[in-house]
A and B are shown apart, each in its own frame.
Chain A
């Protein structure tokens, strides 16, 4: 079909450029009658003649000869099926692409743009769920609304209320409405795309993106249903991204081979998902166990674990956040988190219960470890991890019942612990 349409494509390209058949024949160095036969698909051409005509039409000879790139046709097909309400001529897409290559590229490009927008939208939605400022602002908003709703209901249903009491409630309503207005303005300002953090926060690595999509458990890779190379091929990666993603996937595979999921889950259930007990059982390091615990299938009987890994400066190297515990990517986290304390006590696991300002509680294990053999005169390179779970009730009682409790936050800007001595930035939600 494609090669049979070579003449048609030449004719459509020529007409699109407004060149007469006679002129094209002259420029390409063929007779007008021969070009006429070619354009009506009654003569095949190749080589020198095809190149000459393609050059005269400012077109790609391969595209003229072989028809539109199959990938382009597939993209147009994707665009066609995106909207099921509009009936398109599926069986004539190739012909359409051949006759109107410019429009075909336009449709394909717009379809690709929609895909990219969808992907960005998904990422932004996900970030919104994890944004501590937004979570706190929503909490404030709901508190404002609760007060207004409850107070206005009281005023509406209490006809015998003393005037003084009614006036007090009206004043409360007015104050709360002002607070609500300020909270709404703050949220609006926050989403003005001016801060560098908002721009850079989109910078999620392809590996993290892959993990997020698979909810941090790569079942196909663990079960050998796909290879690392197959995964890499399915991702559109630059050379640098390819190398980084391959390295990360190799580490994941190594983890799944050292601690196979079925065997691990049996042991984990027997040890109530306690990382330290599991490290002893498997005779391995706590680091490996923590990473394995942070990459388990999502099931009711399995506690959810999040994880943050940082270097000695506190810079985040890897993170798996939970809906209930967001982790800032670019510094600015609460300095009271035990993961930072662990950096001064390498190889000494630290247990702590974290009490967050919004009432959430997490059991944590933090652990710092050297990343290479120390050398004389050089500071030891150290990294640290913190494994955390809100499902601490599923852990052994000793792991959370007799564990030091720390009142911490996420970031100073959203932390209402105003008297905290570790505060280094103002609480932005001053409405509270």
Chain B
């Protein structure tokens, strides 16, 4: 069965590149760029994995992650956090908030795909 991945990211060209990459691997890809709509979108679309940018307009990635973990129906969803701030504190905060995996921008396409596959497999 085809797996679904939701991208929550505000940069349209990054969404386009990620969508192409993931579709090329056979995944169904959906995206939302407004942080305020993210949690409802996830509840509605029930993806197998979420790729979540930490810096989003309106509602930040950390808050979205906390809301995902606090919402029973999606609380166990694997979440891959992306950030342009590759600081240790961000990684720690994301892990504390329940991020399954963490990658910093700019990332290698191959590394991202590898992480996605591993997360979906586990």
Contact = CB atoms under 8 A, between A and B. Distances in A.
Contacts of B85: 139, 358
A355 to B, nearest CB: 6
Nearest to A393: B96
Interface string B15-29: 011101100100000
Interface string A139-154: 1001101110111011
Interface in A117-141: 138-139
Interface stretch (B41-49, B72-80, B102-110, B114-122): B102-110
Contact of B54 (A147, A153, A168, A359): A359
A356 B20 contact: no
Contacts of A324: 89
Interface residues of A, number: 35
Contact of A147 (B17, B57, B89): B17
Nearest to B18: A150
Given A150-B21, A359-B54, A172 B16 contact: yes
Given A139-B85, A154-B109, A147 B11 contact: yes
A240 interface: no
A93 B106 CA distance: 54
Contacts of B57: 357, 416-417
Q: Which 5 A-B pairs have the closest CB atoms?
A: A359-B60, A142-B84, A146-B106, A146-B105, A150-B17
Interface of B: 11, 13-14, 16-18, 20-21, 24, 54-63, 83-85, 87, 89, 93, 96, 105-109
Given A139-B84, A417-B58, 20 more contacts: A142-B84, A143-B105, A146-B14, A146-B107, A153-B108, A154-B17, A154-B21, A169-B16, A169-B17, A172-B13, A172-B16, A176-B13, A324-B89, A355-B59, A358-B85, A359-B54, A359-B63, A361-B62, A393-B96, A417-B57
